[in-house]
Structure 1
């Protein structure tokens, strides 16, 4: 056992005790953060315009601070980007995390000197809690790879601008820098496929012990390693034992990734966002991700089915219910206020507060009032696929209002299968449809009422989704394939990629 792994264990045990302590004080900590954020920002333009000095209670806060998405908060953010000080948070941001918005074009998410440490500490804590629980620390001695965006930065009115993963690369602790791969030069390659090939060359002969990234892009890395060597990942990297991921549900990718590796390995799920590091997996045995309640953020929640109502219910942590789908709202020490991040979550525990990410508030199908969400389609497809040993590589779903055969409308599923595909596609789709009906009563009613016919599956050719993402300029990095669309834009693009 190396010195790093030996030293990591007492730190892991100490961290576990500290986090267990704040788990028991989650509501009090959130109350503290609400008051502290308001106090620190009361002299900003936003604080002055929203009467922060008169806010005493959460009800006061709700009455003063409306829920906004990026487009609605953009007038304030534009002032910050222009270089103005004390707009949303005291002073100027440390960074802008640059992301792609669907309605706003490029989005600039402020990261302050106060908020930056939480991005680093949460990732570190996830690893330390894994060590504390499992007593497995050998991975600390080997090489670790983080498949991420370029760390190169631009400057906008005195503030550095980059992708979140690239910004974080500048703050990796010194004790991990020697273990970290790929090289700086390789990380700076913009073309994703060229970058993956360079990463393969750099890592194929290294002692890789931890690999981190979004599952579909890690799969591309694995595929190219196998193409180069003819070996399974476990034979290329015999000490590889921990996979860290975030951004998407792992389950649709698990079977293929594990087949590529050649065995099952431990994994840690994280929930990082440019707006803040919201949650991370703290246990290999408990379901859900631990809400990061002491990290400079005050969380609010709106029931997802009320989100578009004129006056939706708006609550904070102490009032959440289990197994209820909520849109998550952030207030942060980088100056985001009543900010709708666009994600939906569902709490699976309140002692401690653990959640699962259930989808995107704008990613749903409700062409007929069914309001089917990502969690439901993933559950239906992956449950049947797992039971029948079928490999699902990637998929997306869209409504088909005008059946080419003149029959009832339906949900059209575009699915790329791996080595094991359904032998009887009609039986397979009907099983998936039955599970979706069971999961969503509105969808069931529409099928039973002959408003919709059962779903149809379009089998995609190999690498169809990679080719689609390439055509959109979204190959690699933090880009993800939407699970659901309420229109035909993606579906029409995929039509030419059907097997």
Structure 2
């Protein structure tokens, strides 16, 4: 064992002990976080507007601070983006993480000097937790690759902004810099296909042990490696035994990955977002990810079936139950307050608190990390129809992750009242509109991770027949505009 691996094990044991202390006292830990957040933010504009000085309990907070999404919080965010001090959190943010927009362009999620360290610590602690549980630490002496966005940042009113992964690239600890790949120059390449080619060339002859990234991006890297080496990735990188991922569900990719690698490898699931780093897989034996209760975030949970009712109950960590779908609500030292990020979670364990991401409170597609929402597909279709004689009765969209040939794609099931003269041309019109609607979708198309969407024609009354077949024809029932799986798609394509 090398000296570096020895010290990694010692450090892992220390972090494990610290983690156990707060994990074994979840309610008290969250109460301390809550009290600290309220105290630190009471003199901000948001704190004054919502009478933080009078908040003594979580019940007070729930009464004074309603649940908001980005659009509802936006008037405050816009002031912070303009460079104003003490709006959502004390001082100014040090970064804005620029993410895909919802209804009106890009979102700017604040990152503060208090919140930023938790993003870095959580990623580090996920690896240390793996070392402590498995005893495997030899990989610290070998090469590691983190496929991420460009670290080149813009500046807006004196505050730097960029993709979260690009911001995080500026915080790689010194003890990892020697082993970390790709090079800074390669990481700065904007075009994804060019970047992956460069990463393949840089890593092809290296002793790679850890590979990390969103599965859809990593799959492209693996395919290029296998083609160049003419053998499985696991034979090329004999010491590759740990895959770290987050952002999308890995299960649809698992069989493909094992085929590309040629064997099974350990994996660590992460739950990071621009709004915070919420959880990581702390055990190779237990289901779920450890919810990070001591990371500057106070959590509330609303049952999914109650979310759209008037004044739904907001549960704290001591009140949640196993197996229930909850909408995740957070308040943080980045200045997000009773903020709905749109994700739903289920608890798989209450000692300690572990979660799985169960979906979104609204219909969406994010099979490749694109986070496409209903308004985006509706707007894209509307734009594509402008100036044409095309009319539609109904539509829905689903991802095709594993096509029989070619790249994956989004499949649009459309029942036309008046068909386009050229289906390929109309598909391209929708695709171009979608790329304007969603920056992540644009990246995936530009990077040749996805190909242009495919239209599948649904026969007249086809959607009505589908709704009837599931007992949801008429009344308040609505066909989802998009789904992250192919349950509806498979029914529509049955012969």
TM category (shorter chain) comes to 0.7 to 0.9
Does the C-alpha gap of structure 1 residues 477 and 65 become closer, same or farther in structure 2, counting only changes over 3 Å? farther
Match of 1:368 in 2: none
CA distance in 2, matches of 1:480, 1:316: 40
Work out whether residues 363 and 483 of structure 2, in 8 Å CA contact, stay in contact via their aligned partners in 1: no
Work out which of the residue numbers 458, 471, 487 in structure 1 matches 2:481.
487
Where does residue 388 of structure 1 map in the other structure?
none
How much has 1:356 moved relative to structure 2?
0.3
Task: Summarize the alignment of residues 73-472 of structure 1 with structure 2, pairs less than 5 Å apart.
Answer: 73-363=73-363, 415-417=400-402, 461-465=405-409, 472=441
Deviation for aligned residue 1:464? 3.2
Q: Structure 1 residues 164, 6: closer, same or farther in 2, change over 3 A? A: same
| 1:21–1:323 CA distance, 2 compared to 1 (3 A) | same
Structure 1 partner of 2:65: 65
Distance, in Å, in 2 between the alignment partners of 1:217 and 1:88 is 34
Kept in 1, the 8 Å contact 2:397–2:483? The answer is no
Question: Which TM-score applies when normalising by structure 1?
Answer: 0.78
Counterpart secondary structure, 1:132: helix
- CA deviations on 1:51-92 (whole Å, 9 max, x unpaired) are 000001111000010100000000000000000000000000
| RMSD (Å), alpha carbons | 3.1
Corresponding residue for 1:41? 41
Q: Distance in 2 between matches of 1:240 and 1:476?
A: 29
Q: Residue 423 of structure 1 corresponds to which residue in structure 2?
A: none
- The equivalent position to 1:474 in structure 2, one of 443, 452, 462, is 443
Q: Structure 1 CA distance, aligned partners of 2:209 and 2:238?
A: 8
- CA apart distance, 1:33: 0.8
Check the 8 A contact 2:220/2:449 in 1, yes or no.
no
Measure the CA separation in 2 of the matches of 1:92 and 1:304.
34
Q: Distance in 1 between matches of 2:405 and 2:399?
A: 10
CA contact 1:144–1:180 (8 Å) conserved in 2 = yes
Residue in 2 that maps onto 1:429: none
Name the residue aligned to 2:438: none
The SS at the match of 2:442 is coil
Cα displacement (A) at 1:345: 0.3
Change (3 A) 1:314 1:3: same
| 1:165-195 C-alpha deviation (Å, 9 max, x unpaired) | 0111101110001111101111111111111
Conserved? CA contact 2:151–2:167, under 8 Å: yes
SS class of match (1:149):
coil
Between the aligned partners of 2:321 and 2:304, the Cα distance in structure 1 is 13
Distance 1:243 1:197 in 2: 20
| DSSP 3-state at the match of 1:186 | helix
Runs of 4+ in structure 1 deviating by more than 3 angstroms, as ranges, are 396-399, 409-417, 466-472, 476-482, 488-491
Shift of residue 249, structure 1, vs aligned partner: 1.3
How much does 1:17 deviate?
1.3
Q: Alignment length, in residue pairs?
A: 415
Distance apart, 1:94 and its partner CA: 1.0
TM-superposed deviation, 1:478: 12
Conserved 8 A contact 1:416-1:461: no
The 1:410–1:336 alpha-carbon spacing in structure 2 relative to 1, beyond 3 Å, is closer
Q: Which string of whole-angstrom CA distances, capped at 9 and with x for unpartnered residues, describes residues 5-53 of structure 1?
A: 1110111111111111111111111011111100000000000000000
Check 1:489–1:36 CA distance in 2 against 1; reply closer, same or farther (3 A cut): closer
Contact in 2 for aligned 1:149/1:477 (Cα 8 Å): no
1:300–1:151: structure 2 CA closer, same or farther, 3 Å change rule? same
User: Cα distance, 1:250 vs. partner?
Assistant: 1.0
**Alignment CA distance shift 1:255-1:62 (3 Å):** same
Compared CA separation, residues 37 and 476, structure 1 to 2 (3 A): farther
1:235 Cα offset (Å): 1.2
Give the direction of change, closer, same or farther, for the CA distance of 1:479–1:350 in structure 2 (3 Å limit).
Answer: farther
Distance 1:318 1:489 in 2: 32
Aligned to 2:474: none
Change (3 A) 1:309 1:77: same
Q: Which runs of 5+ in 2 are unaligned?
A: 378-393, 411-427, 436-440, 454-478
| Alpha carbons of structure 1 residues 185 and 55: separation in structure 2 relative to 1, 3 Å | same
Q: Normalising to structure 2: TM-score of the pair? A: 0.78
Q: Where does residue 52 of structure 1 map in the other structure?
A: 52
Q: 1:490 to 1:171 in 2, by over 3 A?
A: closer
Over residues 301-327 of structure 1, what are the superposed CA-to-partner deviations in whole Å (9 max), with x where a residue is unaligned?
111112222221211111111100011
* Residues 146 and 181 in structure 2, CA contact (< 8 A), matched pair in contact too: yes
C-alpha deviations, 1:229-288, integer Å up to 9, x for none? 111001111111100000111111101001100000100000001111000000000110
Query: How far did residue 465 of structure 1 move?
Result: 2.0
Q: Counterparts of 1:171 and 1:11 in 2: how far apart (Å)?
A: 19
Relative distance call for 1:126 and 1:308 in structure 2 (3 A) is: same
